[in-house]
Structure 1
Amino acid sequence: MNKKILIVDDDPRNIFALKLTLKARGYQTESCTMAQEAISVLQNDNQFQAILMDMMMPEMDGYQAIKIIKDIPSLRNIPIIAVTAQAMPQDRQKCLDAGAQDYVTKPIDVDKLITSIEKLT
């Protein structure tokens, strides 16, 4: 498979769980705990097949980060899956309006996440 996924989440426990889950399914992962760091990583390596973006982070939230990523021509085609504890219908739409291609809620349903990654990559 060899798909490379960037995980952006300010909670190391979430990163750990996602890395374990994705690695067990054959994905390569990298992670960042801050959105600005993720943008720098992406600018240096745009070979990611998808980005899992936590929407609620300090300093720069996922909404701002997605908009910045989508404004960078070399990055705009990388699918972004919003990951959030916000589960209201308007929250999903807000993520999509920001530029995410899909949306999963926490706690993450692994099957839904994998289906989303496979659909988008």
Structure 2
Amino acid sequence: MDNLKQILIIDDDSKNIFALNAVLKAKKFDCVSALSANEGFEMVSENKNIGVVLMDMMMPEMDGYEAIKKMKIDSKMKDIPVISITAQAMSGDREKCLAAGADGYISKPVDVNELIKLINQAMK
């Protein structure tokens, strides 16, 4: 497990950030957070230590689908794995997230063990 890299949580709901941050810190991960995709992009450009992004898919201004697509065409961000986290768990939602460029998908409420597994795979 490469805990030298940080996890960037991008979510417009501070309660979701707090919950994910608490769970991941308890598992010895180092986390930073942003309340919007644009704020997250700024953090990635300033912080070369981001190892994976946890992206909320339903945000105002720029949703996760658009944000992931922007990341994957940007030379500074394209190689950072993105795990989509969404309350959308209907048939086809996983495929829609992966088609947008996400490297992994997990639905809310988050299964912590599954999330840790996805993070570890992404940070290899």
One fold, TM greater than 0.5? yes
Q: Percent identity?
A: 48
Q: Per-residue deviation at 1:104? A: 0.3
Q: Distance in 1 between matches of 2:49 and 2:96?
A: 27
Task: Read off the aligned partner of 1:8 and give its amino acid letter.
Answer: I
Conserved? CA contact 1:79–1:100, under 8 Å: yes
CA offsets per residue over residues 58-106 of structure 1, 9 Å max, x none?
0100011111111111211111000001112311111001110000000
Q: Per-residue deviation at 1:119? A: 1.0
1:57 matched to which residue of 2? Answer: 59
Alignment root-mean-square deviation, CA? 0.9
Q: How does 1:66-81 map to 2 (within 5 A)?
A: 66-81=68-83
1:116 matched to which residue of 2? Answer: 118
SS at match of 2:53: strand
Q: Distance in 1 between matches of 2:42 and 2:5?
A: 20
Structure 1, unaligned stretches of length 5 or more?
Answer: none
1:26 matched to which residue of 2? Answer: 28
2:44 matched to which residue of 1? Answer: 42
- Indicate how the Cα distance of structure 1 residues 2 and 26 shifts in structure 2: closer, same or farther if over 3 A, else same: farther
Conserved? CA contact 1:6–1:52, under 8 Å: yes
Conserved? CA contact 1:10–1:57, under 8 Å: yes
Aligned residues between the structures:
121
Runs of 4+ in 1 over 4 A off after TM superposition: none
Q: Which TM-score applies when normalising by structure 1?
A: 0.96
Q: Per-residue deviation at 1:3? A: 3.0
Structure 2, unaligned stretches of length 5 or more?
Answer: none
Relative to structure 2, which stretch is displaced further, 40-49 or 51-60?
40-49
